[in-house]
Amino acid sequence: MSAAVTSPPELSSAQLVDMLRMMLRIRQFEQRAIELYRDGVMRGTTHPYIGMEAVAVGACAALRRADRITSTHRGHGHCLAKGGDPRLMMAELLGRAAGYCKGKGGSMHIADVEAGILGANGIVGGGMGLATGAALATKVAGRDEVAVCFFGDGALNQGIFHEAANMAAIWGLPVVYVCENNQYAMSARADRFTSVPDPAVRAGSYGFPGLSCDGMDALAVYKTVGGAVARARAGGGPSLVVCVTYRYLGHHVGDPLNYRDKAEVEAWRTKDPIERLRAALLERRVLTAADADVMRAEVEREIDDAVAFAKASPEPDPATLAEDVYA
Amino acid sequence: MSAVETHAGTRVLTYAEALNEALREEMRRDARVFVMGEDVAVWGGGGVFGVTKGLVEEFGTERVRDTPISEEGIAALAVGAAMAGARPVAEFMYADFMTLAMEPIVNQAAKIRYMFGGKARVPVVFRAQEGAGRGNAAQHSQSLEAWFCHIPGLKVVTPSTPADAKGLLISAIRDDNPVVFLEHKMLYNTKGPVPAGEHTVPLGVAERKREGRHVTVVGVHTMVHKALQAAEQLAGEGIELEVIDPRTLVPFDLETIVASVRKTGRLIVTHEAYERCGIGAEIVAQVVAQAFDALDAPPVRLCAANVPIPYAASLEMAALPQVDGLVAAARGLMA
């Protein structure tokens, strides 16, 4: 009905400041996670979101608490941006009983269903069907929540993308597919394995809008994803938004990084999304440089607190091993 | 042993009609329940086997949803919908096609609750029909229940009668866990008494179908009926079979089977799934671990041969366990 809705509401000054704070929070969280992993305090692996903060924050700024997201193996940023608690997340990273998943999930399975976070996901493309199904439930129940599915460029080539996108299209489901094109699926540069230079054109095969935006610019992401969210909420159906971004670090900590040049990384770092939003807010005078410094220090303390909380939490009792296999 | 709760009269229905009644009653009772799958609405007025017949007329196309041929998508959307508050019943036209949907069933549905520390529910039913007997050949005749039994977090249900089909499907829909509900294509037209109205059969309770002193036979789906036929034949020879239908494979009512083996001292497990790594292997292992002392003979498995299910009638018959084989196996155990 309201397919014409293409612009999200203007962001207030307070919202803009919150977005910058969230981007700082994500980066600080990730930096601490990397340290904890390198120190041997964290097990498994961690997939840093550093460099991509504008995507999660810009997209989630367009969402309500009742809206739902699905995330990826690189999920900490999405979880924080949708309202996840950094203390419970950090405790989960350290495999502690106080963590979101009581230590049973770890980095790749953090979820907070009450906050609309249907989970990070260890399977590339694993969230595509889940987000589309959440949107289906919304439609069947006649509610107006929207589902946002975050996924990487690598997931574009999973079969589930085709199945889910087609079903979303034929049924007009309120789902927005947000592709974080961070240029690499592990060692594979996007143009090696994706048949078109701009994956947004794939939306054309399903008959819904495919848009691209600067994924290093939180305001551009907000505008583009927010427009798609407004359209979905108004009954206009699904969209694909490709956010062109970059992961500064490896696929995971310990990536040999033999597949890309340092010069390329440095070029992307000059487009840093946090610096960019900070500069925009200074220019708009919604923030002073001193305010920004205070904010950075506050966020550092907040993440210090999350780490302290995590470390203070006990490890799970082995007696809980078989709990929660079934409801 | 049967823990059937009944509050109304009983009619004779087919297995397919009983399943239809379960879906209809649950959809009336709970607006969160919806049905989705390939050809569940338009085709023949309700599915290739008629299980969803008439539902779209009563509940409309939002709640009775024909889907594209996208098995992974069907399963994954059902899981996502369940996480968002719905109680979907996703149908796969053949269990063989569930091989295309293993990712969302195995990696997502089965694990979400545990991975998330018990803070999520995935109340979804994955319905499918399996089994051989009508010349559908290798890709439309398999019995794949062991695949799902292997995965913690899934429940697995295999009704053999119309009454159980209704009562177990209602329990599956009301369960807050993902349930793989496997029907058998050769049972859809079989008839039996089915309680009208509220009728539930709890998941995890076996039923003793026939009492006997000499050999315990645990059968799945059609093999329950073949075991009852074998029991009739052997009765004339003074050999008594005790026939048990586990009805659900996960959770599994080991207690009822062990109690029976303690009485008979002999065990045959029979199913249409391939013998190698089939559920029979698990049942035998568990019975041996619990009741080794009670066994008078090594347990016997009568299952499908370890070959793809063939097309020609003579070959298909040869691939599946038959009544004659059960009779011979029971005689062998008594010799």
CA distance to partner chain A, nearest, from residue B11 (Å):
33
What pLDDT does residue B1 have?
37
Q: How far is A285 from chain B (nearest CA, A)?
A: 41
Q: Is residue B45 very low, low, confident or very high in pLDDT (cuts 50, 70, 90)?
A: confident
| Predicted pLDDT of residue B2 | 43
Residue identified by tokens 């569930």 is: B98
Whether cis (ω within 30° of 0) applies to the bond prior to B251 is yes
Taking an 8 Å cut-off on Cβ atoms, the answer to whether A325 and B153 are in contact is: yes
- pLDDT at site B8: 62
Q: What is the pLDDT along chain A (327 residues), one digit of tens a residue?
A: 344 457 899 999 999 999 999 999 999 999 999 999 999 999 999 999 999 999 999 999 999 999 999 999 999 999 999 999 999 999 999 999 999 999 999 999 999 999 999 999 999 999 999 999 999 999 999 999 999 999 999 999 999 999 999 999 999 999 999 999 999 999 999 989 999 999 999 999 999 999 999 999 999 999 999 999 999 999 999 999 999 999 999 999 999 999 999 999 999 999 999 999 999 999 999 999 999 999 999 999 999 999 999 999 999 999 999 999 999
Q: Which CATH architecture has domain B207-334?
A: 3-Layer(aba) Sandwich (3.40)
List Cα–Cα distances, B253 to A229, A237, A284, B207, B258, in angstroms. 49, 47, 69, 9, 9
Question: Residue A147: its chain B contacts at CB < 8 A?
Answer: 80, 84
Q: Is B7's pLDDT higher than 70?
A: no
Q: Are B252 and B204 in contact (CB under 8 A)?
A: yes
Backbone angles phi, psi at A49, to 5 degrees: -95, 5
B104 touches chain A (CB under 8 A): yes
Across the interface, of A100, A118, A171, the residue whose CB is closest to B80 is A118
> In the prediction, which pLDDT does A112 show?
97
Q: Work out the average pLDDT over B34-43.
A: 97
- Write out pLDDT tens, residues B210-240: 999 999 999 999 999 999 999 999 999 999 9
Closest CA relative to residue A169, chosen from A125, A126, A207:
A207
Query: Hey, what are B245's tokens?
Result: 């239908």
The neighbour count for residue B78, using CB atoms within 10 Å, is 35
Q: What is the structure's pLDDT at A7?
A: 87
- CATH fold of the domain at B5-200: Rossmann fold (3.40.50)
The minimal CB distance from B86 to the residues A119, A141, A325 is found for A141
Is there a contact between A95 and A103 (Cβ–Cβ < 8 Å)? yes
Taking the CA of residue A131 and the nearest CA in chain B, the distance in Å comes to 6
Task: Kindly report, residue by residue over B115-140, the tens digit of the pLDDT.
Answer: 999 999 999 999 999 999 999 999 99
pLDDT band at B44 (very low <50, low <70, confident <90, very high): confident
Radius of gyration of chain A (CA): 19
Closest Cβ–Cβ partner in B80, B123, B152 for A134: B80
Residue to test with chain B: of A67, A92, A113, most B Cβ within 10 A: A113
* Integer CA distances (angstroms), A321 to A100, A105, A173, A316, in order: 16, 12, 38, 8
Chain B nearest-CA residue for A160? B73
Nearest chain A residue to B121 by CA distance is A327
Closest Cβ–Cβ partner in A129, A134, A135 for B104: A129
Q: Which residues contact B240 (CB under 8 A, 6 or more apart)?
A: B211, B212, B213, B214, B215, B231, B234
Instruction: Establish if B317 touches chain A: CB-CB under 8 angstroms.
Output: no
Q: What is the CATH number of domain A13-307?
A: 3.40.50.970
User: Rounded to an integer, what distance in angstroms lies between the CA atom of residue B228 and that of residue B326?
Assistant: 10
Q: Is A242 helix (H, G, I), strand (E, B) or coil?
A: strand
Q: Give one DSSP letter per residue of B272-314, joined into a string.
A: EEESTT-HHHHHHHHHHHHHGGG-SS--EEEEE-SSPPPSSHH
Residue in A181, A176, A211, A186 with CA at minimum distance from that of residue A47: A186
Residues of B marked active site are found at 71, 140
The vertex-B194 CA angle with B193 and B198, nearest 5°, equals: 155
Domain map (residue ranges) of chain B: 5-200, 207-334
HSE of A4 in the Cβ direction (CA atoms, 13 Å)? 2
Using CB atoms within 10 Å of the CB of residue B31, give its burial: 0 to 12 exposed, 13 to 18 middle, 19+ buried. middle
**A134–B104 CB contact, under 8 Å:** no
